[in-house]
Amino acid sequence: MTHEFVKGCHQPDIQISRFCPAIQQLMEEHLVLIPIMKQIYNRTESIQASELDTMRKEVEAFMDQLEKHSYKEEAYLFETLAKYVGSDSGPIAVMEYEHHTAKAYLNRFLFEIEDNEDAVQTLRSGVELLEEHFEKEEKVLFPMAEHLLNQEEKLMLEKHIL
Ligand SMILES: [Fe+2]
Ligand SMILES: [Fe+2]
């Protein structure tokens, strides 16, 4: 099954320049991560046993980059936005749940890669979830943060995220 990567920052209606520098940085990180996700996803469509090791290394390298990105969101952006919208339920809780679930899929793939054919499907599920997650951040969460956070908070984010 072909999966079209057409969401997230690929949408021409999202103008990165209208966001504060910290959110612009997070969006630009999506632009770096999305092509890697696409490459990994496409590779799952015809994976050979001899390619598994390369695939593992690619996924591990991707997870390092994803971890740095999601940490900035959780520790700074979500933390600050939670003062306005709470974090027990609602958008922050959903975003954190999706970080956790996507990483769990990727970790499960790495754990199962040697001896389970379904491992590739687990990887695909993780990548699909992440793609939807990025789109939600760009269309809902980042605009919400841009609107609600004050200048002082945006400057604080800039120090930590840039
Ligand atoms: Fe995120
Ligand atoms: Fe993100």
What's the pTM?
0.92
pLDDT band at 10 (very low <50, low <70, confident <90, very high): low
Domain boundaries, the chain: 15-161
> pLDDT averaged over the chain?
91
Report pLDDT for 3.
60
pLDDT at 13 over 80: no
Residues 6+ apart with CB under 8 A from 88: none
User: Where is pLDDT greater, at 131 or 49?
Assistant: 131
List the single range of 10-14, 68-72, 85-89, 122-126 with lowest mean pLDDT. Answer: 10-14
The pLDDT tens digits of the residues spanning 98-117 come to 999 999 999 999 999 987 77
Q: Which fold has domain 15-161?
A: Four Helix Bundle (Hemerythrin (Met), subunit A) (1.20.120)
* Phi, psi of 118, rounded to the nearest 5 degrees: -75, -10
Report pLDDT for 20.
97
CA 145 to chain centre: 17
For ligand 2, the distance from its centroid to the CA atom of residue 43, given in whole angstroms, is 23
- Work out the average pLDDT over 72-81: 98
Report pLDDT for 97.
98
Which chain residues have CB less than 5 Å from ligand 2, an ion? 137
Q: In residues, how long is the chain?
A: 162
For ligand 2, the distance from its centroid to the CA atom of residue 81, given in whole angstroms, is 14
Q: Report how far apart, in Å, the C-alpha atoms of 71 and of each of 1, 57, 63, 102, 161 are.
A: 32, 21, 12, 14, 10
